[in-house]
């Protein structure tokens, strides 16, 4: 069995949309809350207006200006060139500060003033009590009003109290305390600055004295003439020592070379090679050599001359030999003396050189040490200069602060003194009543929207469509019950199916609209198998299915009304039929389809298949193969098959049947639906894949504002069979028939 494709409109308007029309509808719905709020607001306003206490307002004006004293300031930048508005706002805050108000309350002993509290009798309170202090400051702040006069340097101060004199006294006291503060704060600030400067100056003075003392000690260490004289003397000594060291080194080298030459030469050639004494000739050594040579020649002549006959043993020869030996000894002694002299000259030169080098090293150490003293002296000099400059600067700044402290105290002037007001100040009663009424009305609006958001009921047609995300196919109004006289002589079908007895009523027209909506809901061809279900019992699904089946059968269509509610069947009762045979007997094979079908004389094109006896397992029977075979058997025989099923949240029968039909219609009883229940029903149908055609809103009050505002049907009159007339009735949104269009 192929199911036609349903034309499913998009979801309705979002419930969360806060359009103006929805807001107005909510306010109309909760109008009693607004009326109650307005009445309470007006009543409270009247009470406040005629019972308001008599209060007196005293005022004063002060001027806060820079003054001519700025011309004498040393530094006119800083805060005095800041934004004037910021400065004035700061002064307003100071006037309302707890410190200033506490001073006023303490000096005036306001906590023991009955007029301040608005009471009578003596009081014995103390500002030392935190609760009393907090209450007093709160009362002062509530009565005190401080405001700026635009585009001026003026501040307006008001105080409101039940006593005229107390109001004026408090204002004047606040101004006086404020002016006194402007005098005391600069002096206090100067004292703090002076104390800080004094401490810093004492520390700096100690540091300067210490640095100066260290410099003097270092000068004494370096010499009484000071560093320059001592440094020049040391430089001259170093220069002389360097020259002496060079000369000593040359003398030592010369003496050393002479000594080594003399020590390494032949003694016979000494007198011919070098001078034993610089600048002199070794004459004695030469004379001795000459004498020795002459004596040796004479001795040789005597001992070798055979003529004279003198031998080596001759006394003359021996005497000569002895004399020669003596001369030789003298020569050797002279030579040794010359060598010793050269060595002594070398050692003396070397000792002189070592002495000069030692002295030079000592002078160098002294020079290095003097350089360290110079660095230390420079550091001490710099520290002394810095501390002395800082000390002088702080001393000057301290004197400047003392001078400017007196200039800061001339900045506030009281323009007008506060005087006790002659008459009390009262608010206009109309203003109080209007204000409280508006405030209560705004509160009522808020409460109305809160109540609306907490309300889980669905009594608004757009809200139901938006929640279910499907359109309404028709709106079924409440049926008009016929009287006992009118139903006399009617059959059960005529008494229970209104479309049979009221063909021109709004009730019947709504089913014509439902018929048109269903026939146009599917693309290609109208749906053949149409299932009616509801979320909960008693929502009118059986009534809707019965009346629609009769409307469809009034034409040429062949219609079957099947009661698939196998738990609480009701269709056979409405039409006055028997329930012994029906759907269950056909599915169980105990009867044929022809035996189970029943008819009513009023509708020849309508066949009715009751439920039959209640089975033990209805769900298994509806999901059986026999049920599918029965629906295939019914498809070619009928134009439309209307199926009444159980509520979807009670059992799953409707979910099972919903997948085997062409269209599913959910019947919702207007005014009794719940958001939670309807959302659950929608989710079950969507998850089951049932072809949802839309909603049918049943039992709608045609006189409700929502009905008129949504469909706007007005000025239509319908007649009934009994001669009575229907009042103006709304039509159905889903009526798309030609007749419905013509009427609209």
- pLDDT tens digits for range 603-615: 889 999 999 999 9
Position 462 pLDDT exceeds 80: no
Q: Could you tell me what percent of the chain has a pLDDT over 90?
A: 18
Report how far residue 81's alpha carbon sits from residue 76's, in angstroms, rounded to the nearest whole number: 8
Longest dimension (CA), the chain: 225
Q: Label residue 744 by pLDDT band (50, 70, 90).
A: very low
Is the separation of the CB atoms in 420 and 167 below 8 Å?
A: yes
Residue 460's pLDDT band, with cuts at 50, 70 and 90, is: low
Average model confidence (pLDDT) across the chain: 76
CATH of 457-481+499-743, one of 3.40.50.300, 3.40.1370.10, 1.10.1740.10, 3.50.50.60: 3.40.50.300
E strands, 376-436, in order:
412-416
Q: How many residues does the chain have?
A: 744
The pLDDT, as a whole number, for residue 234 is 57
Among 515, 522, 507, 527, smallest CA distance to 639 is for 527
pLDDT at site 438: 94
Q: Is the pLDDT of residue 9 over 80?
A: no
pLDDT for 151: 85
Mean pLDDT of 228-242: 63
Tens of pLDDT along 29-45? 788 999 999 999 999 99
* Residues 317/231, Cβ–Cβ less than 8 Å: no
pLDDT for residue 627: 92
- pLDDT confidence band for 639 (50 / 70 / 90): very high
The third-level CATH classification (topology) of the domain covering 227-403 is Helix Hairpins (1.10.287)
Q: β-pairing, 472-477 with 598-600?
A: unpaired
- Distances in Å between the alpha carbon of 192 and those of 78, 198, 205, 591, 668? 19, 10, 20, 115, 84
Note the pLDDT of residue 235. Answer: 64
Which tens digits make up the pLDDT trace of 465-476? 777 878 888 888
Give pLDDT tens digits for 651-704. Answer: 888 889 988 999 999 998 887 777 788 888 888 888 888 898 888 888 887 766
432-456 residue pLDDT tens: 899 999 999 999 999 988 887 777 6
Please compute the mean of the pLDDT values over residues 107-130 and round it to a whole number.
84
Determine contact, residues 177/100, Cβ cutoff 8 Å: yes
**421-432 mean pLDDT:** 85
Could you tell me the pLDDT band of residue 457, with boundaries at 50, 70 and 90? Answer: low
CATH topology of domain 22-194+410-416: Bacterial polysaccharide co-polymerase-like (3.30.1890)
Please give the angle made by the CA atoms of 30, 31 and 37, to the nearest 5 degrees: 105
pLDDT of residue 606: 92
Tell me the angle at which helices 164-222 and 84-95 cross, rounded to the nearest 10 degrees: 120
Beta bridge partners of 674: 457
User: Between 734 and 551, whose confidence is greater?
Assistant: 551
Same topology for domains 22-194+410-416 and 457-481+499-743, yes or no?
no
Q: Which of residues 354 and 541 earns the better pLDDT score?
A: 541
- The pLDDT, as a whole number, for residue 555 is 83
3-class SS letters over 312-340: CCCHHHHHHHHHHHHHHHHHHHHHHHHHH
Query: Would you list the domain boundaries of the chain?
Result: 22-194+410-416, 227-403, 457-481+499-743
CB atoms within 10 A of CB 371: 11
Predicted pLDDT at 711: 46
- 477, exposed or middle or buried, with CB in 10 Å at 0-12, 13-18, 19+? buried
**What are the backbone angles phi and psi of residue 262, rounded to the nearest 5°?**
-65, -40
Within 8 A by CB and 6+ apart from 412, the residues are 62, 63, 64, 178, 179, 182
> Which has the higher per-residue pLDDT, 502 or 61?
61
> Strands 673-674, 457-458: parallel, antiparallel or unpaired by DSSP?
antiparallel
Backbone angles phi, psi at 272, to 5 degrees: -100, -10
Task: Work out the percent of the chain whose per-residue pLDDT is above 70.
Answer: 73
When comparing pLDDT for 238 and 660, which is higher? 660
Q: What is the pLDDT of residue 633?
A: 93
More reliable by pLDDT, 598 or 411: 598
- pLDDT band for position 372 (50/70/90)? low
Residue 50 has pLDDT above 80, yes or no: yes
pLDDT at 717: 39
Helix (H) or strand (E) holding 183: helix 164-222
In angstroms, the Cα distances linking 519 to 513, 628, 670 are: 10, 23, 24
pLDDT of residue 326: 79
């Amino acid at each position: 069995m192929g199911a036609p494709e349903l034309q499913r409109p998009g979801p309705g308007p979002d419930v969360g949309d806060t359009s103006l029309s929805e807001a107005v509808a909510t306010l109309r719905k909760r109008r009693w809350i607004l009326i109650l709020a307005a009445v309470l607001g007006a009543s409270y306003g009247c009470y406040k207006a005629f019972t308001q206490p008599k209060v007196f307002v005293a005022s004063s004006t002060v001027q806060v200006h820079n003054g001519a004293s700025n011309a004498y300031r040393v530094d006119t930048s800083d805060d005095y060139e800041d934004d004037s508005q910021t400065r004035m706002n700061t002064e307003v805050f100071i006037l309302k500060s707890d410190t200033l108000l506490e001073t006023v309350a303490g000096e005036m002993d306001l906590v023991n003033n009955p007029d301040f509290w608005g009471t009578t009798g003596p009081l014995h309170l103390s500002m030392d009590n935190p609760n009393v202090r907090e209450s007093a400051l709160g009362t002062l702040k509530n009565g005190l009003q401080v405001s700026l006069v635009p585009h001026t340097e003026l501040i307006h101060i008001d105080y409101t109290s039940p006593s005229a004199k107390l109001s004026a006294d408090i204002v004047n006291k606040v101004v006086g305390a404020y002016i006194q503060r402007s005098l005391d704060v600069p002096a206090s600030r100067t004292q703090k600055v002076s104390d800080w400067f004094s401490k810093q100056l004492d520390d700096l003075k100690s540091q300067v004295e210490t640095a100066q003392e260290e410099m003097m000690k270092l000068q004494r260490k370096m010499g009484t003439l000071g560093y320059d004289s001592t440094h020049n003397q040391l430089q001259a000594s170093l220069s002389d020592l360097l020259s002496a060291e060079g000369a000593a080194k040359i003398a030592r080298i010369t003496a050393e070379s002479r000594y080594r030459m003399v020590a390494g030469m032949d003694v016979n050639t000494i007198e011919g090679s070098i001078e034993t004494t610089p600048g002199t000739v070794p004459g004695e050594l030469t004379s001795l050599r000459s004498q020795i040579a002459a004596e040796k020649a004479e001795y040789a002549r005597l001992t070798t001359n055979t003529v004279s006959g003198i031998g080596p043993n001759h006394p003359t020869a021996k005497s000569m030999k002895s004399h020669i030996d003596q001369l030789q000894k003298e020569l050797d002694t002279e030579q040794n003396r010359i060598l010793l002299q050269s060595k002594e000259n070398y050692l003396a030169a070397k000792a002189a050189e070592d002495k000069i080098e030692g002295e030079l090293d000592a002078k160098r150490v002294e020079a290095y040490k003097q350089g360290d003293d110079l660095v230390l002296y420079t550091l001490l000099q710099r520290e002394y200069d810095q501390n002395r400059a800082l000390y002088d600067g702080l001393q000057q700044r301290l004197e400047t602060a003392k001078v400017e402290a007196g200039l800061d105290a001339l900045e506030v002037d009281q323009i007008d003194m506060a005087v006790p007001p002659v008459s009390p100040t009262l608010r206009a009663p109309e203003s109080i009543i209007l204000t409280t009424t508006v405030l209560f009305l705004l509160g009522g609006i808020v409460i109305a929207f809160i109540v609306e958001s907490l309300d889980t009921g669905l009594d608004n047609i757009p809200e139901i469509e938006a929640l279910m995300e499907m359109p309404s196919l028709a709106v079924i109004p409440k049926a008009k019950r016929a009287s006992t006289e009118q139903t006399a002589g009617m059959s059960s079908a005529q008494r229970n199916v209104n479309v049979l007895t009221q063909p021109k009523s709004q009730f019947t027209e709504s089913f014509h609209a439902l018929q048109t909506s269903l026939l146009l809901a599917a693309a290609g061809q109208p749906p053949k198998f149409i299932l009616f279900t509801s979320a909960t019992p008693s929502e009118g699904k059986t009534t809707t299915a019965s009346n629609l089946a009769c409307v469809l059968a009034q034409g040429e269509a062949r219609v079957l009304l099947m009661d698939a509610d196998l738990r609480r069947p009701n269709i056979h009762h409405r039409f006055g039929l028997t329930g012994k045979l029906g759907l269950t007997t056909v599915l169980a094979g105990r009867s044929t389809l022809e035996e189970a079908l029943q008819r009513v004389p009023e509708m020849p094109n309508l066949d009715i298949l009751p439920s039959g006896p209640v089975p033990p397992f209805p769900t298994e029977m509806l999901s059986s193969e026999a049920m599918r075979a029965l629906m295939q058997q019914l498809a070619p025989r009928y134009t439309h098959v209307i199926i009444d099923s159980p509520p979807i949240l009670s059992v799953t029968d409707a979910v099972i049947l919903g997948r085997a039909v062409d269209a599913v219609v959910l019947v919702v009883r207007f005014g009794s639906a719940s958001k939670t229940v309807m959302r659950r029903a929608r989710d079950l149908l969507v998850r089951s894949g049932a072809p949802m055609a839309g909603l049918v809103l049943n039992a709608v009050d045609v006189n409700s504002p929502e009905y008129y505002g949504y469909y706007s049907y007005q000025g239509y009159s319908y007649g009934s069979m009994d001669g009575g007339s229907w009042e103006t009735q709304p039509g159905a949104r889903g009526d798309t028939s030609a007749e419905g269009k013509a009427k609209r």
